[in-house]
Structure 1
């Protein structure tokens, strides 16, 4: 997949089959749409193209809105590449671009730049200045400028019964297994391993503290999770805590993972951790010994879950 960081940097080799959206999560519903454009592109001997925007349009148009997202931009790029899309155009979304009229967008971007043969779009897609144009306008533009419009019906979308909002809600409520089911893959967090207070070492449970640079990434509900990460092409399992470490009077949220049967130095490395199951809420214990006893039970619970995978 070729990634283009602006509409203007895309130079088509021929005609394209296009879809447009934020595709936050690249979940099962999105995957159905993307499969359609990839298949259609092969049939029509065109190239498949996904147009998305960064930052999220809502963050630009509704200033002050906190918009937590399921994927960082790099995660989204990797997910789309794995699905087999030919081109991803990530256009910087700003207020100037938002003022482009629907017809100018269709003519200048879809027709003149993308050499559009067909667009596959959801029944509820709206576009253009103030989002005033809809699927009916798009069909009219298609007749004027000579491209096909394929509508994804409400029935098709409902049949998948998945949305980014549902997934965000599941993660915020700690329902990681439900979120993973909706996504079609395990929800993950990627960050740099940084030095913490190293208290875990003193009680026999050393942890890698993960710092996530992208402040828009959605962090699941605080608690203790079964998790895994890939390191040197090996899968390493462990248990992860997301929370404020109340037992040691912590005041800020941390993300730390204790990896089983692992003693390599990860400081400064970027790792990706996938969350598999939420075991319990974060708790405040009366002592480090009490915390240590609970961690021993957590490890047994995690290992039992891992053995069934």
Structure 2
């Protein structure tokens, strides 16, 4: 997949099959649209193009509202879209000026003149242009003028699994990662470097790797203990240098389907089991919210290395214990429950 962070970097195509949207989570409903997009591109001899936006439009239109969190970072979204077979991903910077384009200007300047759209695959409820006045009817009314056709993905086809990004966000905030994963079709994950903590966990036999998530807009699941798998970047190749925003993608660059670069074919990807903790560590009167993981059967120092943590099941809510000994006993039970979970998979 080729990825572009400015529309000006994109070279207009002769037969672009296009879909548009934020696609946060790239869930089952989104995947239906993307599958159809790729099928039509292949059958027509065209190329599939997905136009998305960063930051999320609501972050620009309502900047005072900090409550909106994204299921995927922009890099995570790109990885998933690449795995689904999209040919071109255009990440358009969403600005006030962009939001003020009329629906007709949006169609002519972006879809037709810049991309070369010949067919648009769009969800029944998609809105675009200033004040979100453009819709599928607007696209249809302009189709003959600009020489493209429109295919609507109806509500029933998108919602027959009763899935939406809003429902997924709520499930994650409630700690229900199992339900969120069912909606997504893959395991929700967190990715970032390991930073130094206060090392209290190792004093009671449960050392943890503390993860720093740079993207403040990334949704973090509700507080508690989770069964997870952990992928260590150092186990599968050298760290990938990337900025933490859309500019980390370069025009016309290939996007790897994995989060990790694989410099040689003889390096194997290893995944570890573990249990993750999210919370403020009330037993020691913690003041900040931590994301940390106890990786089973692992004792290496990995400070500064990037890890990916895949959330598989919620085990329990965060609790304040009477002291470290009581916490240790509960963690022993948590580990036993985590291993039982993996045995049952």
Instruction: Report TM bin, short chain.
Output: over 0.9
Structure 1 stretches of 5 or more lacking a match?
none
Judge which range, 9-18 or 200-209, deviates more. Answer: 9-18
Residue 334 (structure 2) aligned to one of 276, 286, 298: 298
CA-atom RMSD in angstroms: 0.8
Residue deviations 1:242-291 (CA, integer Å, cap 9, x gap):
00000111011000000000011110011110011110011111111110
Match of residue 58 from structure 2: 58
Name the residue aligned to 2:171. Answer: 170
Which residue is equivalent to 1:88? 89
Aligned to 1:206: 207
State the Cα distance separating 1:160 from its structure 2 match: 2.7
Contact 2:225–2:316 (CA under 8 A) maintained in structure 1: yes
Aligned to 1:104: 105
- In the TM superposition, 1:132-151 aligns within 5 A as 132-151=133-152
Alignment of 1:135-284 (within 5 A): 135-231=136-232, 232=235, 233-284=269-320
Superimposed CA distance per residue, residues 152-185 of structure 1 (whole angstroms, 9 cap, x where no aligned partner):
1111122132100000010111111000000000
Report what 1:22 is aligned to: 22
1-structure distance, mates of 2:142, 2:127: 14
Question: Which has the higher mean CA deviation after the structures are superposed, 9-18 or 217-226?
Answer: 9-18
Work out whether residues 201 and 207 of structure 2, in 8 Å CA contact, stay in contact via their aligned partners in 1. Answer: yes
Structure 1 CA distance, aligned partners of 2:146 and 2:62? 33
CA distance in 1, matches of 2:13, 2:168: 37
Equivalent residues in 2 for 1:38-53, closer than 5 Å: 38-53=38-53
State the Cα distance separating 1:63 from its structure 2 match: 2.0
Which is bigger in relative contact order (C-alpha 8 A, separation at least 6)?
Answer: 2
For residues 245 and 63 of structure 1, what CA distance do their matches in structure 2 show? 31
Question: CA–CA distance in 1 between the matches of 2:65 and 2:7?
Answer: 26
Matched position secondary structure for 2:160: helix
Partner residue of 1:69? 70
Q: Secondary structure at the match of 1:52?
A: strand
Provide the aligned length of Structure 1 versus Structure 2: 309
Question: How much has 1:14 moved relative to structure 2?
Answer: 2.7
User: What CA deviation, in whole Å up to 9, does each residue of 1:112-170 have, x standing for no partner?
Assistant: 11111100001111111111121111101112111010011111122132100000010
1:37 and 1:195 map into 2 onto residues whose CA distance is: 44
Tell me how far apart the structure 2 counterparts of residues 287 and 134 of structure 1 sit (CA, whole Å). Answer: 58
Contact 2:274 2:296 in 1 (8 A): yes
TM-score, normalised relative to structure 2: 0.88
Q: Residues 15 and 114 of structure 1 are in contact (CA less than 8 Å); yes or no, is this contact kept in structure 2? A: no
Q: Is the 8 A contact 2:13 2:116 kept in 1?
A: no
Moved beyond 6 Å, runs of 4+: none
Whole-angstrom CA distance in 1 between matches of 2:60 and 2:212: 25
Rounded to whole Å, the distance in 1 between the matches of 2:92 and 2:197 is: 37
- State how far apart, in whole Å, the 2-side matches of 1:152 and 1:83 are: 18
Where structure 2 has 5 or more consecutive residues not aligned to the other structure, the ranges are 236-268
